[in-house]
Amino acid sequence: MGVEGGMKCIKFLVFFFNFIFWLCGIALIALGIYVQIELNNTLLMTSPTASGAPIVILAVGVIVFFISFFGCCGAMKENYCMVTTFAVLLTLIFLVEIAAAIAGYIFKDKVKTVIDDEIRAEMKQYRNDSRIAKTLDDLQKSYNCCGAFNYTDWFDVKEFQPKSVPPSCCINGTDCTRNPNDDNVYREGCVSKIEGWMKKHIIIVAAVALGIAFFELLGIIFACCLMKGIRSGYEVM
């Protein structure tokens, strides 16, 4: 027989929240792709650590996408096994997200070190690899920066001794390569510029993550209620 009120409402709430998760999964996939493309345009990411963040975001997005689809099917078919599996998987994802947030806060200072190491490693290959040279030139022009900490970092690169810098460090197309100083080169290093860009966009990532976590918690609660209803012998319409 049909279920009046509460259980019928919970069934459609579970379906609704799964649809929201599905959209969140798509949003995370899009965000992961965007961050990956942006970082690839900024750095060549020769270190696996440096390219880890966007891959994690993308992976979580794919997982959320498929789990939400699984939950929608379980809710509409009123299948106890599917709804239970969905609730368990969603709980695991929720706990993993909390652990990832804690780890991200603990290791947030390491990101700057990874970026610094990446840029300095690419600087040493500037003369030997045209792809790296183009990436660094595009980076310095886009962010109006020079070197890792500042333009004097180029002086430590063997190919740029004695004191010289690439043309992409020059302000307004001036010729500063052989006579760099505070007036004709970008004084700020690229590490601080990239760090600033990441801090600006981390707010978006945090907002999306908090929103997903909130809906996940509600989804877990409603899924448990639906499980209880199905197990008690309700016929949910």
What's the pLDDT score for residue 70? 73
Looking at the chain, the whole-number percentage of residues with pLDDT higher than 70 is 84
Mean pLDDT taken over the chain = 77
> Which residues, other chains included, contact 218 with Cβ-Cβ below 8 Å and sequence gap of 6+?
17
The answer to whether the beta carbons of residues 143 and 189 sit under 8 Å apart is: no
Average pLDDT over residues 174-198: 84
Domain range annotation of the chain: 6-108+204-231, 111-191
Report residue 53's pLDDT band, with 50, 70 and 90 as the boundaries.
low
User: What pTM was computed for the model?
Assistant: 0.58
Region of 173 please: left (phi>0), alpha (psi -120 to 50) or beta.
left
Average pLDDT over residues 86-107: 78
- Cα–Cα dist 98/213, whole Å: 9
CATH of 111-191, one of 3.90.79.10, 3.40.630.30, 1.10.1450.10, 3.40.50.410: 1.10.1450.10
